[in-house]
Amino acid sequence: MPLGTPHAAAPAPSTVSAAFCRHLLDAYAAPLPPEVARAARRSLLNVLGTAIGGARTAAVDALLATARDERVRGTVAVPGRAETVDAHWGALIAGTAAHLDDFDDTHLATVIHPGAATLGTLLALEPELDVAGSRYLSAFALGCEAQLRIGNAISPRHYDLGWHITGTCGVLGAAVAASLLLGQDAATLERALSLAGTMVLGHREGFGSMTKPFHPGKAAANGVLAARLAAAGAGGGPDPLGPSGVLDVLSDRVDRGRLGGPWDRDWELEDNAFKPYPCGIVAHPCIDAAIAASAEIGDPGAVTAVEIDCHPLVPELMGRRQPGDHLQARFSAYHAAAVGLIDGEAGIAQFGDERALAPDVVRLRGLITLRPSESCARDEATLRAAREDGPEVVTRVRHARGSLDRPLTDGELFEKVRKLIEPELGAEAPARIRDAVDGLDGAPGIAALVAVIRPENATQLVPGSGTPGTSQEDHR
């Protein structure tokens, strides 16, 4: 070619999926934009906190007991535990634990919890990789971002049809994170997405049961499997994100325009939010209003009726009036408002079995009426409480704590994860974990981070070599 002759432009990717994968790889090759890197670190710190906070619950005990029965051996760390397992079980357990208390990160537009499945993927692959810490952070960010962009394309109909979007989009995001960490090219990444599209799971029928947190755990395990199968040459249908692909199975309305374009701006991850309360996020404005009213009410036994103006999603997703245990309580706006009014707070203890069954809470739940209205924003609520011995108490919340208009500060986020981590790993662990997350850009990998999310005396153990832990449900 003569000097001065321009090079021919590279052909544009011919399918929706090819373009999506090409943009993903370009984004992975570049440093994360500073604000995206900050959002990724905040999301990672939060989900590590929720995973460690769920480390000694009945669900994690059951998963480890099953791994022990199957004689699983491996070196993948389990957050908050001494046991180690193989990659499949590591992804499954970490993803499940992270979502168990419904306290993990939430993308408000889609109601996806993107961190759990992506964390499970990172921890599952860590022992076998020689990858810089900055690459792990980028893979985490892009695994989350892929979920959110795909979620935007199929929302809101996907959720309306009964799917649990955290499980369905989670497996695609996990496949992305795994493929990037494994160094796959665009064609292999596209095959991984096609394979992951046959492994989607999760429906809303599982809300209020132990199966809900299982969805992001299984999504992580399936995403890693899809990436490995793609690397070995397996494949699925062409253009999995294009017309007639998996997205058309998941929703009857797909906006593929939400998938396109370069990934150098407008990251959805920057709109990822962090819950101040361990329950369905749509009830958080109700909780804020109840806590604000509690000090003025004084004696909650004098309350005769409570009305709450709220968004229609509140009764749709959290309309269980009288939950029977801690899992069901997390999907009861009646319970959330009742404990806020009585206890003046709504933490892990307020969503345990003791408060779920307490007579004073049961009584007040029965007095609450939800009044949904489309004119009420998702992060807004107005509470009116009638009393025997005084005037009506009215509190209005325009923007809930943790919403995009009222996000948790770095200090508030650290205080949240401190309360989750400290009971499991000790008083010094929260700061060590925060520092390890903050230092990922200069770290040779994530081995130092993995070390501080386990007990200090932990060694490479296999399930069954230690003493099974006591479930948190027993002492919450």
Torsion of CA 254, 259, 265, 271, to 10 degrees: 50
Q: What is the pLDDT of residue 269?
A: 97
Q: What is the pLDDT of residue 474?
A: 37
pLDDT at 328 over 90: yes
Tokens 């992506």 locate to 118
Mean pLDDT throughout 207-214?
86
Structure tokens at 34: 């500073």
Write out the H or E segment, with its range, that includes residue 68. Answer: helix 58-69
Contacts of 24 (CB under 8 A, 6+ apart): 142, 146, 176, 180, 189, 263
SS percent in the chain: helix, strand, coil, step 5: 55, 10, 40
Phi/psi for 102 (5° steps) reads 55, 45
Return the number of other C-beta atoms located less than 10 Å from residue 234's C-beta.
13
pLDDT at 5 over 50: no
Tokens 């200069």 locate to 442
Structure tokens at 226: 């899809």
Task: Give Cα separations from 329 to 100, 336, 418 (angstroms).
Answer: 13, 8, 23
Mean pLDDT throughout 219-245?
96
Mean pLDDT throughout 288-294?
98
Q: How many residues does the chain have?
A: 476
409-421 pLDDT, tens digit per residue, is: 999 999 999 999 9
Q: What is the pLDDT of residue 471?
A: 37
Phi/psi for 381 (5° steps) reads -165, 150
Write out the H or E segment, with its range, that includes residue 382. Answer: strand 381-387
Q: What is the pLDDT of residue 459?
A: 58
| CA separation for the pair 275, 407 (Å, rounded) | 9
Q: What is the pLDDT of residue 91?
A: 98
Largest CA distance in the chain: 93
Tokens 């096609």 locate to 194
| CA separation for the pair 111, 32 (Å, rounded) | 24
pLDDT at 319 over 70: yes
Structure tokens at 156: 């809101």
Mean pLDDT of the chain: 92
Contacts of 34 (CB under 8 A, 6+ apart): none
Structure tokens at 271: 């709109």
Task: Give Cα separations from 78 to 255, 374, 446, 460 (angstroms).
Answer: 38, 43, 14, 11
30-82 pLDDT, tens digit per residue, is: 999 999 999 999 999 999 999 999 999 999 999 999 999 999 999 999 999 99
143-173 pLDDT, tens digit per residue, is: 999 999 999 999 999 988 889 999 999 999 9
Mean pLDDT throughout 87-100?
98
Q: Give yes or no for a contact between 183 and 204, defined as CB atoms under 8 angstroms apart.
A: no
Mean pLDDT throughout 220-226?
98
Q: Give yes or no for a contact between 48 and 437, defined as CB atoms under 8 angstroms apart.
A: yes
Q: What is the pLDDT of residue 13?
A: 56
pLDDT at 10 over 60: no
236-281 pLDDT, tens digit per residue, is: 999 999 998 999 999 999 999 999 777 878 899 999 999 999 999 9
At residue 338, the 3 state secondary structure works out as helix
Q: Give yes or no for a contact between 46 and 105, defined as CB atoms under 8 angstroms apart.
A: yes
